[in-house]
Amino acid sequence: MPDWLFVLWAGGTALLSYSLVYALRKPFTAAEFEGLEVAGMDYKIVVSIIQLIGYVCAKLIGIKFISELKSGNRLKFIIGSAALSEVSLLMFGVLPVPYNIFALFFNGLSLGCMWGVIFSFLEGRRTTDILASVMGVSMALSSGVAKSLGLYALDHLHVSEFWMPALIGAFAFPLLCFLGWVMTRFPKPTAADIAARTERVTLNGQQRWELFMRFMPLLVMLFAANLLLTVQRDIKEDFIVCIIDVSTISSWAFAYIDSAATVILLAIFALLAMNGNHLRVLCVILFLSALGMGTVAYVAAAAIEMPTTWWLFLQTFCIDIAYLSFQTIFFERFIACFKVRGNVGFFIITIDFIGYLGTLALLLIKEFNAPHIDWASFYDHMSIYVGIACCVAFIGSTIYIVSAKSRKGKCARQESNGIDNNNLIITHTA
């Protein structure tokens, strides 16, 4: 099969698959649940926290599960997870308030490992960059589409806020199961793929720890930056209807804006995919990520006035160019650059666990210590601090990677020279 045809088939299937995961997880964010409280707390915040607790638990379990998952069990996992998520959405509609909030714990728990499972069908190939990019932009695209579908169901179909997620999930569930089966039909990586990107293997607990210790300074910086990135992105995604006045824009504006950002991101990632120099690609990714988060910090600090749609586009594009890079191509190139024996799933599930744990902590801190802070003001202040911290981390990571690669190259040359000298001595003696 030609590479371009495989990219269309595999990339398109992965994109649609994770878009359907969003349809099972994110539509409730379009609802405001205005006037509802649970134990004195805003109902929507409680719902978000409960779902996020389940999601974080799944990420923690996934550090071991995804690292050790065998290919034959992927489809079973996808079907089981999708089924549990839809049942939980049905229970969210059936159970009375406030007891229905606990149903979303199982929704988060069921979907927390789906990214790693779907990505495992794509990694370790010469075309993985573009495949992962196509899949990754589903995050930017699907989030807006999920909100737009939710708003459409609420405003035009007059579905209640509690049944709207189950309605959308009912369409997503069978399609996701079918696409899961389609992904099992993908051919395995070829010998040329393995030569270009190294063979991907499972990792046990000791191997995961040894890998972390080998690159500890870099991983600490990247894990910390991704914690902040995830928090920033989650607050924007889940509470955008509280940050801006949604009555001033169309219900489909989120889909249009995210689609535009998606097209540009996909073009950037496609250009990076054509570059075979792994070190150069890693440096470009870190530069673009620092530039994007620096822009977010500058816009907030300077209090720049702009139309709501332009502000939404800028936030989506600048945050996602950093966030999606680490969810897709960064660790794929990192493994290839340093010839790491392992798999991308370990890195992604780990940064996800740390990131969503940070989001959960922030929501709890804000709700208990500063419940009356205006969401728009809160988001602007957070943008400044997160943007600056991420820039520092990305610059430090660039320095580390270049230095580490230089040291590795120097050692390789020394070993090569040592072998050559030994050969010369043997020849001379003979």
The answer for residues whose C-beta is within 8 angstroms of residue 257's C-beta and 6 or more apart is 144, 309, 312, 313, 316
The C-alpha torsion from 212 through 218 and 223 to 226, rounded to 10°, is: -150
Residue 354 has pLDDT above 50, yes or no: yes
Q: Report the range of poorest mean pLDDT among 72-81, 253-262, 271-280.
A: 253-262
Residue 422 has pLDDT above 50, yes or no: no
* Both structure tokens of 231: 């928090």
Which of 384, 248, 259 has its CA nearest to residue 320? 259
Read off the pLDDT of residues 234-273 as tens digits, 9 standing for 90 and up.
Answer: 888 777 777 877 777 776 777 788 778 878 888 888 888 8
- Residue that has been written with the tokens 């990192």 in this structure: 334
Looking at residue 417, its pLDDT comes to: 61
Residue 182 has pLDDT above 60, yes or no: yes
Which range scores top for mean pLDDT: 27-31, 85-89, 419-423?
85-89
Read off the pLDDT of residues 299-331 as tens digits, 9 standing for 90 and up.
Answer: 998 888 888 888 889 998 999 899 888 888 899
Looking at residue 430, its pLDDT comes to: 35
Looking at residue 30, its pLDDT comes to: 79
Looking at residue 414, its pLDDT comes to: 61
Query: What's the mean pLDDT when you consider all of the chain?
Result: 84
* Both structure tokens of 24: 């099972």
Which range scores top for mean pLDDT: 47-51, 341-345, 387-391?
387-391
Residue 229 has pLDDT above 80, yes or no: yes
Domains of the chain plus CATH, in order, are 3-187+197-409 (1.20.1250.20)
Confidence bin at 429 (pLDDT 50/70/90): very low
Q: Percentage of the chain surpassing pLDDT 90?
A: 31
Phi, psi of 97 (to 5 degrees): -70, 135
Contact 233, 319 (CB under 8 A): yes
- Beta strands at 37-38 and 41-42: parallel, antiparallel or unpaired: antiparallel
Residue 197 has pLDDT above 80, yes or no: no
Looking at residue 140, its pLDDT comes to: 65
Read off the pLDDT of residues 118-149 as tens digits, 9 standing for 90 and up.
Answer: 988 988 888 888 888 788 777 766 777 777 78
Looking at residue 42, its pLDDT comes to: 81
Looking at residue 123, its pLDDT comes to: 85
Confidence bin at 412 (pLDDT 50/70/90): low
Which of 214, 250, 169, 182 has its CA nearest to residue 346? 214
Region of 39 on the Ramachandran plot (φ > 0 left; ψ -120 to 50 alpha; else beta): left
| pTM of model > 0.95 | no
